[in-house]
Structure formats: structure tokens, C-alpha cells
Amino acid sequence: MAEPEFTATGVRIGKGLRSLTRAGQIRITDGRLELLTSYGSEIDSAPVQAVRAGKPWLGDEDRALAEVNGTRYHLTLAEDDPAPGKGGPPSARRFIEAVRRAGGGRA
């Protein structure tokens, strides 16, 4: 298995007004985006080329939108990247850049 191109833990993942997990995971590996629960169960996944990611029009800097298989997910990451050596999710901006680098589009 290849090294992940992007990983984030402690991510709040929601769909519509419903929260799916408060400590989920996002992983981009081998050109595939995976949204996972805190236990590692798959919520959704798709090739990165089929994923659209962006910022919501209104909202905080720690939020991102991801459209995976036609379903729009609200992701709450962090406003800023964690300090070196500290745990925590990366910034929403870094997630969006990782999706674009891996070949995804913009939501």
C-alpha cells in the first residue's frame, strides 16, 4: 500500500444538517479520496478526479465542502495547520489544495 498523499483525523463530517461523525478521517491514497468514521468504517469514497472540493460561501475558515459520488459533505477541519509536532487536523485550505493536486475539481 502506498503512502497516503493526505490524511486528516479529528474531522467533523456532516451531510446536510446531519452530523455523520465528530472525529472522522479523510485520506487520499493512490488517487482515491476516502471519508471514514473514527472507527475506520467507510462513509464514502471515490477517485479524486470525480471529487469536487471547495469553501462554502458563508462560514468559518475551518470548513470545506466535498462532493463525492453526487453527495455533498460538510467538513470541519482546522483554521490553521497544527504546530510542528502537535496533533490535530490540518487546515481546510490544505485539504482543498490536496484534492486539486491529486486531480480533483472545485465545488
pLDDT single digits (tens) 7-60: 998 899 999 899 999 999 999 999 999 999 999 999 999 999 999 999 988 777
- What are φ and ψ of residue 91, in 5° steps? -75, 155
CB distance 28 to 102 below 8 Å: yes
Instruction: For strands 52-54 and 63-68, give the pairing.
Output: antiparallel
Task: Name the pTM for this structure.
Answer: 0.84
Neighbours of 98 (CB within 10 A): 21
